[in-house]
Structure 1
Amino acid sequence: MDRLIKPDVQAVDVLFARRQKCGRAFKLTNLMHTMSVAVCLTTSEPLLFSISKPFSIIPPLTTSSFTLVLNEPCDQPPLSSPPCTILVRSSMLPTGKAHHDDLCRLFSKPGPHIFKDATLPISFVGPHVAEFLLSPSSMSLEINFLFSKAISWCDESQLTSLLRLAVDNGKSHFLSALIEAGADVNDRGSEGESLMLLAVKSGNADAVQILIESGYAIDNDIDRSLHVAAAMNWVDILEILCLGYPDINLNSVNSQGQTALHLAAVHGQVEALQFLVSIGSEVDVTDRDGWTPLHYAAHEGHIETSEFLLHHSVYAKYAVTKEGKTAYALAVEKGNSSLYDTLHLGDSLQRAARIDDVHTMKSCLAQGANINRTDQNGWTPLHRAAFKGHMESVKLLLNNGARIDVVDGTGYTALLRAVEAGHVQVAMYLVAHGAKASLKSLKEMVPSDHMECFKNHHSTLVNPSDRD
């Protein structure tokens, strides 16, 4: 026979409560049919735990109850790895009677008369233990076994609260255990905030993925996860959401009528903008005040964001809010001078160069217009003035630093545009100021009827280094 006593549990689970005395009862049964058994119970941490009857006598085939008690109430469960234990020892007692001192002497000396019947681990369980394991201070105690034991004593409501805490604290490795134990993945809390939104706010991509795989149901009418991810520039989370929910509404709006693209523009999040636009978000959409994403980018002074939106927008540059303001007007209102050229002055300079409005050109340049900015066709203001044959505009542009050999979208310089349009004097002026050209290249790129105009000026038009 290897033991005299059988415990009714394999471990003693103590339901922990903060600042309260707590303990757990368990039972031992004498397996002997005719003889009483003396029992000695000791803990591996006697300063931490007490046992109601450390020495006891159990009659034949009888069961006795014992209680493990945590000596002092505490704020945090005294967890340890490995856990504290209760050692159960026994000895046959033919007389069936003994005093306390006799039992002390009996178990004080090891020998074959002493049986080691069981070693019972002490586990702390319940929601307070799980909360502690989910807190940032428990980094050294993130033990899956302890957590699984703790939550086994929690009901659905407690599990769901713990799930919210795990998401909020970034403990994504505990989410699956909580969901499998019965936590409600679609819970929205007392204030209507979903677990998904909480995960996105925390920037926890792993939690977002786990919630999707665990059956979180997105509601396009009230979910604003895209908005939060866009505002924070969390492109990885945007990708996970869009892959997880193919029917997600990219243009859903918040209470201000703003889409996720609006929020990305407000915060100048270019990567988020690029991703959202690439999968179909509307660039020219307006909120309830008539603001497009470009209006917000201009108002906040986000240069790169504004340039991206302009490149992908149909009419946002000219759209007006309900107060009648363009993106340019908002930039001026906020003093975001670095955006003046992008939003207005560049267009004005191009238009003035086209109609030879030298006065407006001087005004645009004085306000900071980029003299070499290109339009959608790659034309600079110099291209446009040269093509129209406006000598005064060409002179003004060159005198103010215009680059003379910029090529447009089809590979033409301002000189070639002047030649193409038959403006001999402008072409000669450009060559005299450094424009590079050879008669051969001109013949290849310019209609033959216009070339006749230049044959008599070959010696002037062609750079000395290009002459055969």
Structure 2
Amino acid sequence: MDKLVKTNVQELNLQFIKGQKCSATFKLTNLMHTMSVAISVTTTNPSLFALSQPLSILPPLSTSSYTLFFSQTSSDRCPRIQVARIETVMVRSSMLPTGKAHQDDLSKLFSKPGPRIFKDGTISVFFVGPHVVEYLLAYSSKSLEVSFLLPKAIAGCDQAELNSLLKKGAKMGKSFVVSCLVDAGADVNSRDLEGRSAMSVAVEFGNVGVAEVLIESGFVMNKKKDLFLHEAAEKGCVEMLEILCLGYGDIDVNSVDSKGQTALHIASIHGLVQVVRFLLSVGSIPDIADKKGWTPLHFSAQEGHLEVVKVLLTHSILSKYAITKEGKTAYALAVEKGHDHLYGILHLQDLLHRAARVGDVHSMKSCLAEGGNVNAKDQNGWTPLHRAAFKGQFECVKLLISHGAVVDAIDDDGYTPLNLASMVGHSQVSLFLISHGGKANVKSLQGKISRDWNCFINHDSSAIKT
């Protein structure tokens, strides 16, 4: 025989509640048919725990209950020692032929080890409940102690506590904790009185790993209330935007908030160029106006966000000319705020191209004096020099060259200003460009130009952009 008594449990769960007493009960049974047994119950940490019957006598085949108390009842903090190691209750026994003995006698009996003392088993002690989970949240999820203790602690939580802890785990970015809570029965779709869910919290704090767990666990978006794209855009979290778009294939990237603004509006307001690029790549429409008639371009112009303005203009021609309900263009808003670095791209470049086309040298000089970019390209890659050369505006060509225009600038189809002037037959312009280093782009003359040449001979310039 290797033991005299048996325990009814292998683990004890102490439901820890701040400021309250904490205890758990277990039972021991005497396996001897005819003889009483002396029992000694101790803990690995007597400073933290007390026992109802540290020393006792069990009659033959009888069972008795024992209670383990957590002695620090006045503390409002979960015992730190539980993260470092597992506490245990140790049960020892010895045969007691007389069936009677005083406490002092029992104490002496177990004070000396020997073959008469049986080690009947150990019971692991765990603290459980929401307060314990909150305490463990402060530790790294990669900690071996936490990964072992957390599921134990969660087992002591009810449904409401699990749902509450889910939001706390989402806030702290503890994807492992969130996963454990979901496995234990936490409802990923639960919302508080304000309608906030764990996903709302994860998006708000930019915790991508948690968002992935929640999506995989079946979180369902409320398309009318959950403006996750707006929140992620404001945070500048492109990775969160990617996860949301991948996780919800039917997500509306052009959904609007109470102001009528899309996520693209939000990113443009804050000058988040990488977010703007991503949203445009997944279908955001740059021409959508909010309730006051403002497009994303209006906001980026008002705030002076040059890089965002550039990106938006490559995706929209109309927004540059759109007016708010107050009748203001993006250019007008830039002027109001004194963002002179935007004047060219929002207005002066258009004027410069128009003046080059019609030969208005005076307007061109004004535009250049105000800061217009002499090499600014339009949506087809044409510079003002392309346009002046194509139209044979010799004085305009000279003015542009004198202000630093790139002679061999290439448009989106591979044409240089010299190509265009030569094809249309503007010899004076062609010779001037050659004299200033202009060279024919041989690659562009192959194939497409030979086809377009016939159009020019017939005075049909529709094949070339004007």
Counterpart position of 2:426: 423
Residue in structure 1 matching 2:387, options 363, 384, 387: 384
Counterpart position of 2:58: 58
2:66 aligns to what SS in structure 1? strand
Offset, 1:224: 0.9
Structure 2 distance, partners of 1:401, 1:282, is 36
- Which consecutive residues of structure 1, in runs of 5 or more, have no partner in the other structure? 452-468
Contact 2:203 2:228 in 1 (8 A): yes
2:395 aligns to what SS in structure 1? helix
Contact 1:133 1:142 in 2 (8 A): no
Residue in structure 2 matching 1:252, options 255, 271, 294: 255
Structure 2 distance, partners of 1:291, 1:379, is 29
1:194 aligns with 2:197: yes
Contact 1:294 1:327 in 2 (8 A): yes
Contact 2:85 2:145 in 1 (8 A): no
1:274 aligns with 2:280: no
Structure 2 distance, partners of 1:137, 1:405, is 60
Counterpart position of 2:155: 152
Structure 1 distance, partners of 2:316, 2:145, is 50
Deviations 1:131-177 (A, max 9, x none): 11122578746523311111111110000011111111111012222
Once structures 1 and 2 are overlaid, which stretch shifts more, 112-121 or 358-367? Answer: 358-367
Deviations 1:70-117 (A, max 9, x none): 222331233144401111111111112111211111111111211111
Aligned AA (1:338) = H
Offset, 1:127: 1.0
Counterpart position of 1:98: 101
Contact 2:419 2:441 in 1 (8 A): no
Offset, 1:54: 1.3
Counterpart position of 2:461: none
Deviations 1:348-383 (A, max 9, x none): 111111122222212211221110111122221122
Counterpart position of 2:12: 12
Offset, 1:11: 1.4
Structure 1 distance, partners of 2:455, 2:110, is 121
Deviations 1:236-278 (A, max 9, x none): 3222222222221221111111111212222223333233222
Contact 1:89 1:117 in 2 (8 A): yes
Offset, 1:300: 2.0
Once structures 1 and 2 are overlaid, which stretch shifts more, 429-438 or 108-117? Answer: 429-438
Counterpart position of 2:463: none
Structure 1 distance, partners of 2:69, 2:456, is 105
Deviations 1:386-415 (A, max 9, x none): 222223222221221112222233333223
Query: Kindly tell me: are residues 311 and 84 of structure 1, through their superposed partners in 2, closer, same or farther at Cα, counting changes over 3 Å?
Result: same
Contact 1:136 1:169 in 2 (8 A): no
- Please list, as runs of the form range in 1=range in 2, the aligned pairs for 1:205-284 lying within 5 A after superposition: 205-284=208-287
Counterpart position of 1:38: 38
Offset, 1:327: 1.2
Residue in structure 2 matching 1:358, options 361, 376, 381: 361
How many residues are aligned here?
Answer: 450
**How high is the sequence identity, in percent, across the aligned residues?**
56
- Please list, as runs of the form range in 1=range in 2, the aligned pairs for 1:409-448 lying within 5 A after superposition: 409-436=412-439, 447=453
Counterpart position of 1:285: 288
Residue in structure 2 matching 1:88, options 70, 86, 91: 91
Structure 2 distance, partners of 1:226, 1:321, is 24
Contact 1:132 1:138 in 2 (8 A): no
TM-score between both structures, scaled by the size of structure 1: 0.89
Query: Kindly tell me: are residues 132 and 438 of structure 1, through their superposed partners in 2, closer, same or farther at Cα, counting changes over 3 Å?
Result: closer
Aligned AA (1:236) = E
- Please list, as runs of the form range in 1=range in 2, the aligned pairs for 1:20-31 lying within 5 A after superposition: 20-31=20-31
Counterpart position of 1:465: none
Once structures 1 and 2 are overlaid, which stretch shifts more, 230-239 or 331-340? Answer: 230-239
1:147 aligns to what SS in structure 2? helix
Structure 1 distance, partners of 2:233, 2:206, is 11
Offset, 1:432: 3.2
Structure 2 distance, partners of 1:190, 1:145, is 33
Structure 1 distance, partners of 2:240, 2:139, is 23
1:348 aligns with 2:351: yes
Counterpart position of 2:130: 127
Offset, 1:129: 0.6
- Please list, as runs of the form range in 1=range in 2, the aligned pairs for 1:259-338 lying within 5 A after superposition: 259-338=262-341
Query: Kindly tell me: are residues 239 and 449 of structure 1, through their superposed partners in 2, closer, same or farther at Cα, counting changes over 3 Å?
Result: closer
- Which consecutive residues of structure 2, in runs of 5 or more, have no partner in the other structure? 458-466
Runs of 4+ in 1 over 4 A off after TM superposition: 136-142, 441-451
Residue in structure 1 matching 2:184, options 178, 181, 188: 181
